[in-house]
């Protein structure tokens, strides 16, 4: 008998949680630390408590549901989860599906064990990470990186949004400035929508990510001088906005020279004083460079520094680099990749290896313990948009594979090598 999730439960929970932060166009605005984010977390917290999980919230606001087996003997612990925060105009599936799938997968494992009269040999932790998206508070992956020790707690709590509100203050306001310790785990599993169209084009159902790209997230500013846009001669203007525009164009050229081996962007631009009849004196840019190749990333960083200097010169302004967040490329546990493939094959589902270019909480967590994130198809490859969508069958298939991986690890008493061998 194969472990199987309850599709009606999955559907009901996805519909219920999507009401928090819902936008008229069918998307979500549930940014980290917002009131709507807090409401969604409260709702999920209640579901966990009703199902017998022990609730914990750590100091950076990660929400956990712990399920310990009876007895005092130490057991391996499997952690499964994702995030409930969204982009300001994002979709219903990014992150949210991973949290709900984690819950229904663990519940399916519990039901399967009960019906078959088999033991649960491991403990479980379901997690909703704080501020994965980094839309309101930078950096992204804030909660998971703090859990893993890659960010200091005080640093993480002191991050502020554009209105000057801090992570710590917003967690306090929503009741998620916790005091519980970080729970231990031995293995981490995460499921996500692909956010690309590789699976859809290949007509395959499951895509384990084998590695993740490196990234540089750079905050830089052009510094000019305010002036009236009417009488001030063009040649006399010290236009910070012009400097930022030149950087935007140059970023695309840096990427073009490397084909698909480097992605660049400036996804946020803050122009001040932001008046229609004033030459801006400051333009702050949130720049990203992404590549699987550390050499290409280092070369692109130097090219960006040259671009900033040249753009400032042409615009007759100065510039500054405010901060650089460096994220190294790496690989997920190959044994968990194999386990994912075998659980998919057991269900007649096709698989292909993927690389994740965007960040996931599984990235920092996989540097702390064996971990993996795997994907289901995204219709049209759309993500971070209200129209992002995955079909019900794909949602079900993915949750079933996740449940199968959890069950195999449980049967092997948390030993990944044994789980892979038994699945064979």
> Cis ω on the peptide bond leading into residue 7 (within 30° of 0)?
no
Determine whether the annotation assigns residue 353 to a binding site: no
Long-range CB pairs of 256-262 (<8 Å, 24+ gap) are 258/291, 258/296, 258/300, 261/291, 261/292, 261/293, 261/296, 262/289, 262/290, 262/291, 262/293, 262/296, 262/297, 262/300
Determine whether the annotation assigns residue 192 to a binding site: yes
Determine whether the annotation assigns residue 325 to a binding site: no
Alpha carbon 60 to its chain centroid, in Å, reads 16
Q: Sheet holding 214-223: strands in order across?
A: 263-272, 282-291, 214-223, 318-327
Determine whether the annotation assigns residue 83 to a binding site: yes
Determine whether the annotation assigns residue 85 to a binding site: no
Binding residues for Zn(2+): 83, 94, 133, 192, 384
Residues of each annotated binding site = 83, 94, 133, 192, 384
């Amino acid at each position: 008998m194969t472990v199987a999730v309850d599709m009606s439960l999955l559907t009901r929970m996805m519909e219920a949680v999507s009401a928090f932060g819902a936008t008229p166009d069918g998307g979500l605005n549930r940014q980290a630390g917002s009131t709507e984010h807090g409401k969604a977390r409260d709702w999920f917290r209640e579901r966990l408590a009703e199902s017998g999980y022990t609730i914990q919230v750590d100091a950076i606001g990660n929400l956990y549901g712990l399920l310990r087996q009876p007895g005092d003997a130490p057991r391996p612990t499997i952690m499964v989860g994702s995030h409930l925060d969204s982009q300001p105009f994002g979709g219903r599936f990014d992150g949210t599906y991973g949290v709900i799938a984690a819950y229904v997968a663990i519940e399916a494992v519990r039901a399967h064990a009960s019906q078959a009269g088999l033991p649960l040999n491991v403990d479980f932790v379901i997690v909703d990470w704080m501020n994965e998206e980094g839309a309101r508070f930078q950096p992204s992956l804030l909660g998971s990186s703090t859990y893993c020790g890659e960010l200091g707690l005080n640093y993480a709590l002191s991050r502020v949004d554009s209105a000057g509100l801090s992570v710590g203050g917003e967690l306090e306001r929503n009741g998620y400035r916790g005091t519980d310790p970080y729970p231990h785990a031995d293995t981490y599993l995460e499921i996500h929508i692909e956010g690309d169209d590789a699976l859809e084009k290949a007509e395959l159902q499951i895509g384990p990510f084998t590695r993740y790209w490196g990234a540089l997230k750079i905050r830089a500013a052009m510094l000019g001088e305010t002036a009236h846009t009417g009488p001030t001669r063009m040649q006399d203007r010290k236009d910070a906005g012009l400097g930022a525009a030149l950087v935007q164009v140059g970023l695309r050229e840096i990427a073009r020279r490397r084909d698909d081996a480097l992605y660049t962007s400036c996804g946020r631009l803050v122009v001040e004083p932001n008046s229609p009849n004033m030459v801006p004196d400051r333009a702050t840019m949130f720049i990203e460079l992404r590549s699987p190749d550390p050499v290409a990333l280092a070369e692109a960083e130097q090219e960006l520094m040259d671009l900033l200097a040249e753009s400032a010169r042409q615009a007759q302004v100065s510039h500054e680099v405010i901060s650089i967040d460096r994220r190294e490329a790496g690989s997920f546990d190959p044994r968990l990749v194999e386990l994912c493939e075998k659980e998919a094959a057991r269900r007649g589902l096709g698989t292909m290896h993927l690389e994740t270019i965007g960040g996931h909480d599984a990235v920092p967590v996989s540097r702390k313990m064996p971990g993996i994130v795997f994907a289901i198809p995204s219709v049209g490859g759309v993500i971070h948009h209200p129209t992002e969508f995955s079909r019900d069958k794909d949602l079900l298939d993915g949750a079933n594979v996740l449940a199968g991986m959890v069950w195999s690890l449980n049967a092997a008493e948390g030993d990944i090598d044994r789980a892979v061998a038994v699945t064979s």
